[in-house]
Structure 1
Amino acid sequence: MKIKKFQFIMIMFVLVFLTAGVTTFALSFGDEKVVERIQLRDREEFSKLYDAYEQIQKNYVDEVDDQVLVDGAINGMVEAIGDPYSDYMTVEEAKSFYESISSSFEGIGAQIEERDGNIVIVAPIKGSPAEAAGLRANDAIIEVDGKNIQGMSSNEAVTLIRGEKGTVVELTISRPGIDEQIKVNITRDVIPIETVYSEMLDGNIGKVQLTSFSEHSAEELKQHIADLKEQGAKGIILDLRQNPGGLLPQAIEIASMFVPEGEVIYQMEYKDGTRERQLSNQTEKFDLPIVVVVDGGSASASEIVAAAVKESAGIPLVGEKTFGKGTAQTAGNFSDGSNLKITTARWLTPSGESIHKNGITPDYVVSLPDYAKLPYIDPSLELKENVLSEQVSSMEEMLKVLGYNPGKVDGLFDADTKAAVISFQKDHKLKETGIVQGDTTVAIMQQLSNKITEEDPQIGKAVELIKEQMK
């Protein structure tokens, strides 16, 4: 029996987060390599594999598809590596993988990865149904529409989570620090990949949020900064929070905007210990004070940029420790359209430090307030008098933060809680039922989100640092 010849298209991935509706990745192309056909019989180490295949074909009570056995054997070898970023994709999974590389997609809009047998959210995409539903970095997806997905690969999970616009998927979430699992119903939608958002803050400071590194991100970032300058910006905050990464060439181009020409952006270390350095190709010096903000959802390409500006340009980082994704993958297509992706290198910071599983600690560690970590409340739940649950406790905390007095925050929906709910509903022109469900639940969480944005201490610290540089 022969393994089919396949082309190894050298694609260096700095980020491969198969998402609930999108696959984002960083890549650079090299030469094509053709792997010669080999006889399994002629390789001693493959004799047991061949014998097992032959025994199944001859003696198993039912008919077995050859391709199913081959797919299973390859998948088993890859899983035996124990690396969440190495993966085998069947023809169908590979097709979905490449279809996801587009300007838009249909799904919930959340980057995921397989970690220790769990499917974990890296970050929701800005403006996506996943973000609106309150999904967060490090949430583990336990079930999809009632089906347990623990032990699945990220590819398998994606096929369950993705779906057509307008359809609903129910996710069961396990969140760090919360004992009860959370059920979330999310309506899938078309998610356009818009990556750059900007606004002027007080004090002639411009803030630019980069949500991922897609094909035109560098070009868009330059235009947004130019627009902010025209509006009078004297300093820039680059917000990389909840940015799970993306295309490596874009990360290099964006880092080169701020890192002086010839300085190191990152190093790539291979199996034999050799290292390659990527240098900045800056053509025009950046002439404004700048601070970069990161958090636990900043991963891969975001971490490349963050490490580069910190170590090679002396630009301060503010926020929380980054995600810690520092490996690179090479992917190759078999002739039948299936795909094998394996980790072939590690990327290091300019000084040679590995951030894999460690992340990057900012120069100024600033956490969001505790209320920013309150768990999502499912709008379909009916919270009313005499209900006792963790969801009621979360809702009481939210009302308290928003200036309403629910009485003792103990998870019991009592008369004080009802009075606070009615007061909130009255202020926001909602039906005064004293019951938290549907529009009332959404309104409470939206007001909390607005408060987090308005009182953002991480941006506040960045503004303080910019003003110091502007003096």
Structure 2
Amino acid sequence: MKVVKALDEQKVGQEKQEQTNLENKSGFIRMKKFQFIMLLFLVVFLSAGITTFALAFGNDKVATVGADRAEFSKLYSAFDTLKNGYYQKVDDKKLINGAINGMVQSLGDPYSDYMSNTESKSFHNSISSSFDGIGAEIQEKDTHIVIVSPIKGSPAEKAGLKPNDVIVSVDGKSLQGMNSTQAVALIRGKKGTKVNLIIQRPGTEAPVKVSVIRDQIPINTVYGEMVGDGIAKVQITSFSSNTSKELVKTLNDLQKQGMKGLVLDLRQNPGGLLDQAINISSLFVPKGKVLFKVEDRNGKIKEYTSQNKGNDTMPLVVLIDSGSASASEIVSSAVNESAGVPLVGEKSFGKGTVQTAQDFSDGSNLKFTMAKWLTPNGNWIHKKGLKPDYPVSLPDYANLTMIDPDKELKLSTVSTDVKTAQIMLKSIGFDPGREDGFFDDKTQNAVIAFQKAQSLPADGVIKGESTLKLMDLLRQKIQQNDTQLQKAIEVLKERMK
């Protein structure tokens, strides 16, 4: 079995070409890409039946789109009333943008959004090869901005941000009531600049300040390595425009190193492009088997099947968790229900809708939900998630909250942050002798020992660099003691017999 390195391209314009064409070349796979709209961190589905929108901006009033429709009379009346009667001169475009935004907001759908030309430009930049920011996928949920997942190796991950963390404010500005696009505009910024976030983690008493230095976030999405006994681990962090190509190259490289079984790690993968999910699912699902289904507003269901003509017998296990969303859930359910691949880890996020986007002539953009997607067996996992066949949690210390590096924890301090620090110290081998939140002499000695081991100023105070290093070492500890990966390897070995 040989993974073919080449990826052919074909144009998509007809019904029969809506699915990825996967062809065998003496073994594993050769893939042909769709040319879908590139929406990073959103599953996007295009349909020839989508009605396009058109708005023209005149000098005095809204253009005549739908002008003869009775339901628009109230809208025009409100526009004219404000334009002619408001005590200050109003901006026509601002009123129109506000009206469109209000319509979208009334849907109550966190995945539908209207973006001004400035916000739309930022949105399109996010699908390039890289962008400047903290590297975290967010969404609006119950009027809050919630982290879906940090990107592997990003400043967000290094700062300890986790799925379901609520971002309360950015540089002192509250995000309450904002949509995700508005929040992204505040969080992003030039590489090297600092952004201060107030984070509320579920299950914790008080919010904590997290300072993150923005960096360039490259869209490298596939990371592979051999983990012993002929087993390879491949992590896919998101589904961007080159992910399937990256994956095939990685599989080629790993096969040369003796890969006989594969753990596909989709944990904390917030999703991405639908065509990439189709490509990747088809690598492991036999030809003709259902990958997923799409149900439109009228209940009409269309099935999407694997076009794989290659060898799909590679022993496989997939890792998921609460940060696995959207496209990663499509892949997971496809291989699980149509190829019998077991899922290991924790229940996934639960995003069962697909979106498309419409650009307007002035540069603004309307992104909206157009359909549901269902698993091969017809299940809608929206707000429910996928349940793993083998439920496995990470160690308790993997769920510790962050410590504000600007806070000073020292002798005689009593706080929940001290308790967190004590548990962190014990987890990485510097036992303070207690975990009750009181900073005593033994805790100070443990801190000094930790600081000396890391060549830090040994003052016995947890602050600044000491705090950041402590959290970084804990993150490394979690990676070294990955109970979910260990279980996946155990399951895979049974399948390889």
Report TM bin, short chain: over 0.9
Q: Note the residue ranges of structure 2 that are not aligned, 5 or more in a row.
A: 1-17, 19-38, 55-62
* Aligned counterpart, 2:43: 26
Give the one of 163, 166, 169 matched to 1:137: 163
Which residue of structure 2 lines up, in the alignment, with residue 321 of structure 1?
Answer: 347
Displacement after TM superposition at 1:28 (Å): 4.7
| Correspondence for 1:395 | 421
Could you tell me which residue of structure 1 aligns to residue 12 of structure 2?
none
CA distance in 2, matches of 1:327, 1:129: 29
User: Tell me, what secondary structure is at the counterpart of 1:190?
Assistant: strand
Q: Following TM superposition, by how much is the alpha carbon of 1:315 offset from its aligned partner in structure 2, in angstroms?
A: 0.4
Could you tell me whether the CA contact under 8 Å between 1:386 and 1:413 is conserved in 2? yes
Deviation of residue 325 (structure 1)? 0.7
Over 3 Å counting, the alpha-carbon distance change for 1:372 and 1:277 in structure 2 is same
Partners of 2:52 and 2:358 within 8 A in 1: no
Q: Distance in 2 between matches of 1:266 and 1:362?
A: 18
Q: CA 1:76/1:34 → structure 2, altered by over 3 Å: closer, same or farther?
A: closer
C-alpha distance in structure 1 between counterparts of 2:355 and 2:468, whole Å:
40
- Structure 1 gaps, min length 5: 1-11, 13-21
Measure the CA separation in 2 of the matches of 1:288 and 1:85. 35
CA displacement 1:195-215 (0-9 Å, x = unmatched)? 111111122211111111111
Q: CA deviation at 1:463?
A: 0.8
Q: Return closer, same or farther for 1:429/1:76 CA change in 2, 3 Å cut-off.
A: same
1:379 alignment partner AA: P
SS at match of 1:45: helix
What one-letter code is carried by the residue in structure 2 that aligns with 1:462?
A
Structure 1 ranges of 4+ moved more than 6 A: none
Q: Decide which moves more: 196-205 or 137-146.
A: 196-205
Please say if 1:369 is aligned against 2:411. Answer: no
Tell me the distance in 2 between the aligned counterparts of 1:142 and 1:421. Answer: 31
Deviation (angstroms), 1:287: 3.2
Aligned length: 451
Alignment partner of 2:307 out of 281, 291, 316: 281
Quick one: which of 408, 413, 423 aligns to 2:434?
408
Does the 8 A contact of 2:296 with 2:370 survive in 1?
Answer: yes
State the Cα distance separating 1:34 from its structure 2 match: 4.8
1:103 and 2:102 equivalent? Answer: no
CA contact 2:45–2:354 (8 Å) conserved in 1: no
Residue number in structure 2 paired with 1:152: 178
Cα deviation, 1:315-343, whole Å, max 9, x if unaligned, reads 00000000001111232122222112221
**Aligned counterpart for 2:231 among listed residues 205, 228, 233:** 205
Decide whether aligned partners of structure 1 residues 169 and 34 sit closer, same or farther in structure 2, where only a CA change above 3 A counts: closer
How big is the shift at 1:430? 2.4
Asked if 1:451 corresponds to 2:477, the answer is yes
SS where residue 182 of structure 2 aligns? helix
- SS of corresponding position for 2:437: coil
* TM-score of the aligned structures, taking structure 2 as reference length: 0.88
Instruction: Give the CA deviation at 1:35.
Output: 4.8
The 5 Å alignment of 1:241-280 reads 241-280=267-306
The answer to whether the aligner puts 1:467 opposite 2:484 as a matched pair is no
- Contact preservation (8 Å) 1:40, 1:50: no
TM-score, scaled to structure 1: 0.92
Once the 2 structures are TM-superposed, how far is the Cα of residue 270 of structure 1 from its aligned partner? 0.2
User: Which residue identity does 1:24 align to in structure 2?
Assistant: F
The root-mean-square deviation of aligned C-alpha atoms, in Å, is 1.7
1:29 CA drift (Å): 4.3
Question: Is contact 1:180-1:390 (8 Å) kept?
Answer: no
SS of 1:25's partner is coil
Q: Could you tell me how far 1:383 is from its partner in structure 2?
A: 1.2
Query: Which residue is equivalent to 1:118?
Result: 144
Task: Give the distance between the partners of 2:194 and 2:302, measured in 1 at CA.
Answer: 46
